[in-house]
Amino acid sequence: MSSPFTGTRHLVRLILRRDRWILPAWIVGLGGTITASALAVPSFYDTPEKVAGYAGAVGTSPVSHLMSGRQAGIDTLGGIVANEISQVAQLGICLMVMFLVVRHTRAEEESGRAELVRSTVVGRHAATLAALLYGVAAALVIGLVTTVSMLAVDLGLLGSVTYGAGLTLLGLCYVAITLVAVQVATSAREALGLAGAAIAVGYLVRGVGAMQDNALVWVSPFGWAQRMDAFGAEQWWPAVPVVLLTAALLGVAGWLTVHRDFAGGVLPARPGRPRASRFLGTPLGLTLRLQRGLLIGWAVGLTALGLLYGAVMPTIPDLVASNPDIAEVIGASPDVEQALTDAFLRYIFLFMAAASCGFVVTSVLRLRAEEESGRAELVLATGVRRTSWMAAAAVVAFAGVLLLTLLMGLGLAVGYAVGTGEWDRVVEHVGGQTSYLPGVLVVAALAVAVVGLWPRRSLLAWAVVAFVVVQVLLGETLRLPSWVDAVSPFSHLPEVPVEDFDPVPGLVELALAAGAVGWGLWAFRRRDVTTP
Amino acid sequence: MAAVELEGVVKTFGAVRALDGVDLTVEAGEVHGFLGPNGAGKSTAIRVLLGLLKADSGRATLLGGDPWGEAAELHRRIAYVPGDVALWPGLTGGEVIDVLARLRGGLDERRRAETIERFEFDPTKKCRTYSKGNRQKVALIAALASRAELYLLDEPTSGLDPLMEKEFQQAVLELKDEGATVLLSSHILAEAEALSDRISIIRAGQVVQSGSLAELRHLTRTTVIAETARSAAHLAEVDGVHHPRFVGARITFDVDSVHLDAAVQALAPLGVRSLSVHPPTLEELFLRQYGEEATA
């Protein structure tokens, strides 16, 4: 008997075999970070005074609300742990299921391997179901690891289970969202873009809702998961909308699977230009054209992020006024508002700089995709020098992230001005964001070096990004040893605007970045080009 | 001067010896067939010639230059078609043809138009929608549309239909008339037989035979089928005759090309009623090369 799901079991086994390193890497990386944080936090809050202090400071901080939402039971150890890990755990689980699901659906179709598999006895929905089961299983493992590590520090059974369940449900919801994105998109990259945008929107909507303390929280799966109120008055009914949305999305994904062609998208392909524009005849022009979509997508996303953060910034004084606790903790001086706004800005600058590391590494690692597909061979068999080919990619990544940095700063300034009518902060915001750029360029340069030196270990470049993000988001929670903090390029840059700008560390980092790029180019000239 | 020269080229990937001392000479102006089964080292040899891979030892010369050290300069004088063409999914076929030709250093507009028409190619579609044959056409058109001294074609017709295959053969003959050199790697023997002046057969990383088709045939056996009035049983005793088979009055045997004369002399007095002699096809040459090595 064959059903639309025939062969699912074999596909799941194939997925597990292919991901025997990738899945454990996600679980160890993400689960390990969550566990380490959960284990580290309680020792810092070992007296009721310290717990109360956290609740007073962080629990009322608009930055914390924007980034981590309003965590229930923030005046208990459980709430503190949940609040500290929530950013990495929630964003991490969503990104994990997104990458895993796209990898085994759209990317497989694109490579042509899926065609081979589906010509065997495999039902129409088997591939979708296999990816669903796989994504859900991965989310379950992360949820379980989180619950267990919370139990390991005696955070209470009900709270720990509720938190882990909320996290897993969030992952489940984004598995379904990704499965729809996969059907709508015409390529794996487009699917990643759509699903990534859905994660960003869900995260930001919850953040703004929590910051302003309004109903927006209930528009986002992030909000639903959090409003299960682990470590507060646990309630399980917010799981209902998550499950309903997931079921509806799976229905849509199933319907789309039936109504589109294999390897096609919902939107039909249009005819294009029969001739290349003059601009395309150089390695730089070609690279720019190939990364146009990537750059536009990131530019739109990060500009919107800047606008949003800029728009909420003016509300900080009001939030302080309505919350005498903050003043109590920081000190009741007229500078309190300024200090809070500076701290907010500094964190936003750092957060957006870390986010833009995602762009530079994606951009630089396109070199590897070009090599592995055989397209690099086609270009390098023409009159293009290897160094020109690689340098073109580095230029696009560096110039691209410079553009993104300016746009993020401008977004902040414009968002701020729209709310306040004050247009005189543009230089301050753009300059402040740019002061963090050297750190991003170091990450980009390391990616170039990896491509030149260890082409088959290009995931190392993503490990650098993962480290930087964890250091930025969790560095204080984990109380990393100072030498570990020192590895991050952002640790050495002045904390603008909390500290005054100092050009020296940035210039030193630029020199290091130039050296790493040179090293990568040198190594690439001396190695074999990877051919398929 | 030879257009391509490989002398004792060795290339290893980990424990695998992909090229195990390859010797290959392609004279300027000839079409050289480069034959071998999958995995014999054809593509690896071509990639060494393109400077994409660095040989572990041995000497490679391309148009008188060093393919590793002077890659970019040499590439302006050559055109390359890989056997499995990967293209940018978001660019159209027409754009890719222009990009590759311009990066090589020039595009002959007339040839571009002619070749697109010849291969009945639609340049307005996005590459992600092209079939394998159409992707192959993109690389072929990009190569043929630029005037090169040397064409390195690595199984260029895989995925093409027979009509397009014929157009391809015609195009290669035109290149030869213009004085260009072509290194044509293939496992389609009819194609190589129709086009090649000389042929090299590669097996397990070594060139095992090299020469014109006539020379290669001379090294091997001719098949003779004769019907004779009197018994031909003693033919089995003649030097160089192999595998005589008798069916009634008919004898079929293979004979080493150098002993053909003696065999025919021996047949003549027997009253020959019918006689057919055919030289080995390239396919037989090829299969024999592998069959003998396999049984040895």
Res A345 pLDDT > 80: yes
If you average pLDDT over residues B200-209, what whole number do you get? 90
Choice between B171 and A479, residue whose per-residue pLDDT is larger: B171
- How far is A412 from A430, CA to CA, in rounded Å? 8
How many Cα atoms within 13 Å fall on the side-chain side of residue B191? 28
What's the confidence (pLDDT) of residue B8?
96
CA of B102 to nearest chain A CA: how many angstroms apart? 5
In sign, the C-alpha dihedral spanning A402, A403, A406, A411 is: negative
- Residue B72 is predicted with a pLDDT of 93
CB nearest B99 (choices: A280, A380, A381) = A280
- Entry field: residues in chain B: 296
Is the pLDDT at B184 greater than 90, yes or no? yes
User: Is the pLDDT assigned to residue A519 strictly greater than 90?
Assistant: yes
Per-residue DSSP letter, A30: I
Confidence of residue A118 (pLDDT cuts 50, 70, 90): confident
The alpha-carbon gap from A271 to the nearest alpha carbon of chain B, in Å, equals: 5
d(CA A38, CA A36): 6
pLDDT in tens, B227-239: 999 888 888 888 8
Q: Count CA atoms closer than 13 A to A60's CA, side-chain side.
A: 20
Residue A108 pLDDT exceeds 90 = no
The rounded percent of chain A whose pLDDT value lies above 70 is: 95
Residues B47-85 pLDDT 10s = 999 999 999 999 999 999 999 999 999 999 999 999 889
Q: Are A191 and A78 in contact (CB under 8 A)?
A: no
Question: pLDDT for A49-80, tens place per residue?
Answer: 888 888 887 888 887 888 899 999 999 999 99
d(CA A399, CA A441): 10
Higher pLDDT, B287 or B168: B168
* Calpha distance B217→A462 (Å, rounded): 58
Quick: pLDDT tens for A243-288.
999 999 999 999 988 887 665 555 556 788 999 988 888 999 999 9
Q: Write the residue in A187, A374, A382 that is nearest to B84 by C-beta.
A: A374
Whether A444 and A401 have beta carbons less than 8 Å apart is answered as yes
User: Which tens digit of pLDDT belongs to each residue from A382-410?
Assistant: 999 999 999 999 999 999 999 999 999 99
pLDDT band at A369 (very low <50, low <70, confident <90, very high): very high
Name the burial class of residue B259, with classes exposed (0-12), middle (13-18) and buried (19+) by CB atoms within 10 angstroms of its CB: middle
- Residue B292's pLDDT is 55
Q: Do A290 and B90 touch (CB under 8 A)?
A: yes
In A, minimum Cα distance to B102 occurs at A281
Q: What is the CA radius of gyration of chain B?
A: 23
Beta-carbon separation of A271 and B94 below 8 A: no
User: What pLDDT was estimated at residue A333?
Assistant: 58
For A528, which of B52, B73, B78 is closest by C-beta distance? B52
Q: How large a percentage of chain B has pLDDT more than 90?
A: 57
CB-CB under 8 Å, B54 with A283: no
Rounded Cα distance, A256 and A295, in Å: 28
Higher pLDDT, A444 or A5: A444
ipTM of the complex: 0.85
Per the model's pLDDT, the better-predicted residue between A402 and B275 turns out to be: A402
- Whether chain A has a CB inside 8 Å of the CB on B92: the answer is yes
Flag whether pLDDT at A328 surpasses 70. no
> Sorting pLDDT into bands at 50, 70 and 90, what band is A334?
low
- Whole-number pLDDT of residue A503: 95
Band the pLDDT of B294: cuts 50, 70, 90.
very low
pLDDT of A173 > 50? The answer is yes
For residue B296, pLDDT over 60 is answered with no
Size of interface A-B (CB pairs under 8 A): 120
Q: Which of B87, B90, B124 faces A271 most closely, judged by CB atoms?
A: B124
pLDDT the model gives residue B295 = 41
* 8 Å CB contact of B95 and A276: yes
Domain boundaries, chain A: 8-264, 279-532
CB atoms within 10 A of CB B161: 10
Closest approach of A262 to chain B, Cα-based (Å): 12
Phi and psi (nearest 5°) for B3?
-75, -35
CB-CB: which of A280, A375, A380 is closest to B52? A380
B112 lies within 8 A of chain A by CB: no
Closest-approach residue (CA) in chain A for B85? A374
CB contact under 8 A, B95 and A272: yes
Chain B interface mutation, best of A378, A387, A526, A529, highest count of B Cβ atoms under 10 Å: A378
Q: What structural domains does chain B harbor? A: 2-216 (3.40.50.300), 221-279 (3.30.70.260)
Residue A329 in this model has a pLDDT that exceeds 70 = no
Asked whether the beta carbons of residue A382 and residue B103 sit closer than 8 angstroms, the reply is yes
The reported pLDDT for the residue numbered A215 is 92
Q: Does B132 touch chain A (CB under 8 A)?
A: no
Q: How far is CA A275 from CA A9, A207, B108, in A?
A: 47, 47, 14
SS (H, E, C) A195-232: HHHHHHHHHHHHHHHHHHCCHHHHHCHHHHHHCCCCCC
Task: Enter the tokens of residue A99.
Answer: 């990458």
* DSSP-assigned letter for residue A75: T
What is the percent of chain B where pLDDT is above 70? 97
Average pLDDT, chain A: 90
CB contact under 8 A, A282 and B88: no
| B36 pLDDT tier (thresholds 50, 70, 90) | confident
- The residue of B62, B76, B81, B95 whose CB has the most chain A CBs within 10 angstroms, and thus the best one to mutate to test that interface, is B95
According to the model, what pLDDT value does residue A353 have?
97
d(CA A522, CA A250): 49
Query: How far apart (Å, rounded) are the C-alpha atoms in residues A227 and A212?
Result: 15
Q: Taking residues A446-457, what's their average pLDDT?
A: 96
DSSP code, position A495: -
Structure tokens at A276: 């290349």
* Range 8-27 of B in CB contact (< 8 A) with A: none
Element (H, E) at B67: none
Of A169, A132, A161, the C-alpha closest to A144 is A161
A285-293: long-range contacts (C-beta < 8 A, 24 or more apart)? A286/A379, A286/A392, A286/B99, A286/B103, A287/A392, A287/A393, A287/A395, A287/A396, A288/A396, A289/B91, A290/A366, A290/B88, A290/B90, A290/B91, A291/A363, A291/A366, A291/A396, A291/A400, A293/A189, A293/A193, A293/B90
- The reported pLDDT for the residue numbered A337 is 77
Residue range A422-440: average pLDDT? 94
Asked if residue B189 has pLDDT above 90, the reply is no
Pair of tokens at residue B275: 């006689």
Can you say how many angstroms the Cα of residue A198 is from the centroid of all Cα atoms in its chain?
A: 11
- Would you place residue B243 in the very low, low, confident or very high pLDDT band (cuts 50, 70, 90)? confident
Closest Cβ opposite residue A532 in set B84, B91, B139: B84
DSSP, collapsed to helix, strand or coil, labels residue A392 as helix
pLDDT of the residue at A5: 86
**Cα end-to-end distance, chain B, whole Å:** 37
Encoding tokens for residue A81? 């742990």
Residues with Cβ within 8 Å of A283's Cβ and at least 6 positions away in sequence, in order, are A379, A384, A388, A389, A391, A392, B103
